[in-house]
């Protein structure tokens, strides 16, 4: 098995073993929450998140910055400080170190964040480089946003399109497979540029600044459906969406069809999901639109029905998701094509489990 730990294992062995209880921890380890929230005692809170990058090859350093910074931004905080721990296979070349750290530097400059520490080592027993990145930000105590804040009656918004990160990863790390399956080269080339869309920092901070949302989430592993399941789990609700309302880019649709995967379950950093009161939805869409950010209403939040997510598929079929763990199509593909596993590097992200995952 690859990907997230099952929720029962998380609850039994991880979340139940957190050392001493600290009253300054406003949001601690829990399933579905994006980052820890720590009260600084002066009207501000510290927002901290650590993320392992373990599911792609070509863009390890780039994703190692953007993915955890997304998790800081969906709390309503601007990411400011970064601490990467870089694990290199024995015998790694200087070129690899150069490529990974150049990407970290470029992504950090794009977000105006500073690398303030970390660790780098040659690690025995691994076949590809890995990065665990810690990102930190600060916001006001009355201004932070929690995943568990979704309320019955809220509308569900999504920016950009489903499967953004997964499309970029598949177009690079599985390029030969896609070519063999007849995916046009033009589609593959366009898909590789999706890596430029993985940040949700700008839209998350816009929505938080204008106080237009009750919750926000960066749908990573498990894709859009996995991200929505985590919001529903954390907030004690059920989320209903219509597949027809979900934007899926032509490139994502083409690659998904060729590989036989569901774009709604494909790792989706770059597609922010948020819940907003109905009377603020239009303002939220206009606020994003003024900044050139595509967004749409894809569903509603309702009382918990026993399911976490209910999806009305294009065919009219109703799909019910009752488990918070949703297997990501990228990891499923890797496990079913072992001979085509990418060479040293794999960026995706671990489970949404703030501060410990």
Q: pLDDT digit string (tens) for 64-119?
A: 999 999 999 999 999 999 999 999 999 999 999 999 999 999 999 999 999 999 99
Res 345: pLDDT = 35
pLDDT tens, residue by residue, 162-217: 999 999 999 988 999 999 999 999 999 999 999 999 999 999 999 999 999 999 99
Say how many C-beta atoms besides its own lie within 10 A of residue 101's C-beta: 15
Mean pLDDT of 21-41: 92
Res 341: pLDDT = 46
C-beta separation of 173 from 57 below 8 A: yes
Nearest C-alpha neighbor of 276 from the set 140, 142, 153, 148: 153
Separation CA 98–CA 101 (nearest Å)? 5
- 156 three-class SS: strand
C-beta separation of 343 from 45 below 8 A: no
C-beta separation of 99 from 345 below 8 A: no
Separation CA 121–CA 170 (nearest Å)? 28
Mean pLDDT of 288-315: 97
Q: Which pair of tokens denotes residue 94? A: 């200087």
Cα 219 off chain centre by: 4
Res 356: pLDDT = 32
Model confidence at 355: pLDDT above 70: no
Separation CA 118–CA 251 (nearest Å)? 36
Angle of CA points 248, 330, 318, to nearest 5°: 55
Separation CA 78–CA 34 (nearest Å)? 14
- 18 three-class SS: coil
Separation CA 183–CA 247 (nearest Å)? 20
Res 354: pLDDT = 41
Which residues neighbour 117 within 8 Å (Cβ) at sequence distance 6 or greater? 83
Model confidence at 335: pLDDT above 90: no
Nearest C-alpha neighbor of 70 from the set 60, 79, 83, 81: 79
pLDDT tens, residue by residue, 131-155: 999 999 999 999 999 999 999 999 9
**Least confidently predicted of 54-63, 203-212, 293-302:** 54-63
Res 339: pLDDT = 47
pLDDT tens, residue by residue, 215-249: 999 998 899 999 999 999 999 999 999 999 999 99
Separation CA 179–CA 198 (nearest Å)? 24
Separation CA 154–CA 274 (nearest Å)? 9
Q: What is the pLDDT confidence band of residue 55, given thresholds at 50, 70 and 90?
A: low
Q: What is the pLDDT confidence band of residue 1, given thresholds at 50, 70 and 90?
A: low
Res 124: pLDDT = 95
Separation CA 334–CA 327 (nearest Å)? 12
Nearest C-alpha neighbor of 148 from the set 354, 355, 356: 354
Model confidence at 343: pLDDT above 70: no
pLDDT tens, residue by residue, 265-278: 999 999 999 999 99
| Single pTM value for the model | 0.90
Domains, the chain, ordered by start: 7-140 (3.30.1330.10), 147-335 (3.90.650.10)
Residue holding tokens 């597949």?
243
Separation CA 231–CA 238 (nearest Å)? 9
Res 26: pLDDT = 96
Q: Distance of CA 30 to CAs 130, 225, 237, 298, 322, Å?
A: 24, 19, 16, 26, 18
Res 288: pLDDT = 98
Q: What is the pairing mode between strands 295-303 and 155-159?
A: antiparallel
- For 353, half-sphere exposure in the C-beta direction (CA atoms, 13 angstrom radius) is 21
């Amino acid at each position: 098995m690859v990907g997230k730990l099952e929720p029962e294992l998380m609850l039994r062995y991880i979340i139940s073993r957190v050392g001493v209880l600290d009253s300054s921890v406003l949001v601690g380890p829990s399933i579905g929450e994006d980052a820890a929230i720590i009260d600084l005692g002066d009207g501000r809170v510290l927002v901290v998140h650590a993320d392992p990058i373990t599911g792609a090859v070509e863009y390890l350093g780039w994703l190692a910055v953007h993915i955890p910074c997304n998790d800081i931004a969906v709390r309503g905080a601007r990411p400011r400080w970064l601490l990467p721990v870089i694990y290199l296979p024995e015998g790694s070349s200087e070129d690899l170190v150069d490529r990974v750290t150049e990407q970290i530097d470029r992504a950090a400059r794009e977000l105006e964040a500073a690398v303030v520490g970390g660790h780098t080592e040659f690690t025995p027993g691994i076949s590809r480089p890995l990065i665990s990145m810690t990102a930190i930000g600060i916001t006001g105590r009355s201004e932070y946003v929690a995943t568990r804040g979704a309320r019955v009656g809220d509308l569900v918004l999504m920016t950009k399109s489903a499967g953004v990160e997964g499309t970029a990863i598949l177009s690079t790390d599985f390029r030969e497979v896609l070519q063999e399956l007849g995916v046009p080269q033009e589609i593959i080339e366009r898909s590789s540029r999706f890596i430029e869309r993985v940040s949700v920092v700008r839209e998350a901070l816009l929505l938080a600044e204008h106080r237009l949302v009750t919750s926000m989430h960066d749908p990573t592993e498990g894709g859009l459906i996995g991200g929505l399941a985590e919001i529903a789990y954390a907030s004690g609700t059920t989320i209903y969406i219509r597949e027809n309302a979900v934007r899926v880019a032509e490139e994502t649709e083409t690659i998904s069809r060729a590989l036989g995967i569901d774009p709604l379950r494909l790792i989706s950093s770059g597609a922010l999901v948020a819940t907003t009161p109905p009377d603020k939805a239009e303002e939220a869409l206009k606020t994003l639109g003024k900044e050139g950010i595509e967004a749409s209403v894809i569903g509603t939040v309702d009382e918990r029905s026993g399911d976490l997510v209910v999806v009305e598929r294009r065919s009219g079929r109703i799909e019910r998701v009752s488990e918070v763990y949703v297997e990501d199509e990228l990891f499923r593909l890797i496990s079913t094509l072992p001979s085509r596993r990418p060479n040293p590097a794999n960026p995706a992200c671990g489970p949404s489990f703030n501060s410990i995952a």
